Amino acid sequence: MQIDPSTIANIPDLMAMPIMMGLLHSMRNRQQKLDTRSWLFALGFIFLAQVSLLLHGHSHLQLTLVLTGELLAGLAFASYQGNSNSFREFDLTYLAANGLGLLVLECLYGFGAQGPAPYLAALAGCLVVLVLSTRWRGQEVPRAALFGGGLALLAIPALLGHVAMVAYGVLTGVYAYAAWNFRSRLPAKTVGKLAILISMTLLALCYATHPWVLQHLEYESLAEQLWRMQKYFVCVGMLLVLVENQAARNQYLAMHDQLTGIPNRRMLDTTLKGEIEWAQRGGGRLTLTMIDLNGFKQVNDTHGHLAGDHVLHEVAKRLRHHLRATELVARMGGDEFVVVTRAAVSEDAVQALEVSLRKWIREPIDWDGKRLWIDGSMGSAKFPDDVARWSDDVAQDPAEKLAGALLRIADMRMYAHKPSSRQGLAELEQLFPTRSLLQ
């Protein structure tokens, strides 16, 4: 095999791909939940296609390697799973079975096969495999019907002898599907997703127009540069997705309790402030319920901290399951939880909410073959009712100030109902000057 000296100038451009792959691999350890393997496989196949362009004197082998490399890269992109770093076995088998027939089509064109017969036979084989594998998989029938329709359409240029349209039509369909797959798998409204979608779409257009470019060689250089540009768009888009995903995860961890997964004190403060501002604007009403678990210390002392962590996780899970999605459940820290709702606005409704919360908490918790029982002390505060007597103007006071008052009132009432408390709520309110609750 000979390397044309004119291609030496392209070597720096060629080596950029392994560098991009190295950067992607180095970030993979930080993004265990993302399916970075399909990206690495795809970039590897693109690199294979680029290396093949350096070969001269073996035009059929060169074209075959380029086409198969591009097809395998497209199939890897099409198999991207999003927030999962593993494939189910039948997904891989389904993809491999259907991809094999497409590889045969590309190899036929790469090695210069002429006439409609081999292409029609390969297309018929692809349709048979598609039908059998779809029946075996037992789902995705509409999508399989769409693929089958695309394969059937490729029979038209095959019958007319336009074999280039068959080969590049396959690549167009694969990359168009990859763009659709990324659209559904990647996080919405991110720069990385936009870059990848643009790249996949332009690659599909490059392959769709390539048969025409072969008839107008004056545009060949432009088409080649456009193809080279897209592979960097893909790499940059992938790196942006990883960076944006890490930033989103950091933000999530900053606002959520790592043990239970529910909002933490920081998110509670932010959300409660926003809810109070909403109530101030429209005259709405809120209820904040503070929950402190009784018997949690005994669980820790008797069964260990792992059992205590399990109890906290189970309580958070139950509260989140039973309450509506619009109601906030947060962990204040330790064994304290807070529920904020717009629904329980009357005294009877507040009492009914507390009864329900206590019922859910009191349900036994299984741990290591044992059944654990805990209870909860609760105190609720209503906005604006309970803060009105401690506020100059509930509609105008800063939301942060009113949120602090609401939390203190609920905390006082919760403390009054704890079994260890020797003082009633009336005595507590005498100990704390009403105006101090706002300070």
pLDDT tens per residue, range 49-97: 877 777 665 678 888 888 999 999 998 888 887 765 444 544 667 777 8
For 62-66, 197-201, 332-336, 342-346, which range has the lowest pLDDT when averaged over its residues? Answer: 342-346
Cβ–Cβ under 8 Å, residues 263 and 358: no
DSSP code, position 4 = -
* CATH code at 265-438: 3.30.70.270
Q: What is the pLDDT of residue 40?
A: 82
* Cis before 187? omega within 30: no
Residue 339 predicted with pLDDT over 70: yes
What is the C-alpha end-to-end distance of the chain, expressed in Å?
Answer: 83
Residue 303 makes CB contacts below 8 A (sequence gap 6+) with 367, 368, 370, 372
Give the pLDDT band of residue 8 (cuts 50, 70, 90).
low
Highest mean pLDDT among 26-40, 183-197, 307-321: 307-321
Query: 89: which strand partners?
Result: none
Give the C-alpha separation, 292 to 200, whole Å: 53
Give the C-alpha separation, 82 to 85, whole Å: 8
Q: What is the pLDDT of residue 426?
A: 47
Give the pLDDT band of residue 430 (cuts 50, 70, 90).
very low
Give the pLDDT band of residue 30 (cuts 50, 70, 90).
low
Tokens at residue 323, please? 């309450």
Q: What is the pLDDT of residue 428?
A: 39
Give the pLDDT band of residue 439 (cuts 50, 70, 90).
very low
Give the pLDDT band of residue 330 (cuts 50, 70, 90).
very high
Which residue shows structure tokens 């029979």? 155
Give the pLDDT band of residue 265 (cuts 50, 70, 90).
very high
Mean pLDDT of 226-234: 76
How does pLDDT run across 131-165, given as a tens digit for each residue?
Answer: 888 877 665 677 788 888 888 999 999 999 899 99
Residue 193 predicted with pLDDT over 50: yes
Q: What is the pLDDT of residue 140?
A: 66
Give the C-alpha separation, 12 to 97, whole Å: 36
Q: What is the pLDDT of residue 51?
A: 79
Q: What percent of the chain has pLDDT over 90?
A: 32
- Chain mean pLDDT for the chain: 82
Give the pLDDT band of residue 283 (cuts 50, 70, 90).
confident
Give the C-alpha separation, 25 to 22, whole Å: 5
Alpha-carbon separation of residue 206 from 11, 194, 210, 211 (angstroms): 23, 18, 6, 10
Q: What percent of the chain has pLDDT over 70?
A: 84
Q: What is the pLDDT of residue 266?
A: 93
For 239-248, 302-311, 412-421, which range has the lowest pLDDT when averaged over its residues? Answer: 412-421
Give the C-alpha separation, 46 to 198, whole Å: 17
Task: Report the phi/psi class of residue 117: left, alpha or beta, with left for phi > 0 and alpha for psi in -120 to 50.
Answer: alpha
Mean pLDDT of 355-384: 91
Work out the burial of residue 41: count CB atoms within 10 Å of its CB; fewer than 13 is exposed, 13-18 middle, 19 or more buried: middle
Cβ–Cβ under 8 Å, residues 173 and 152: no
3-state secondary structure of 94: helix
Q: What is the pLDDT of residue 263?
A: 95
Domain boundaries, the chain: 2-255, 265-438
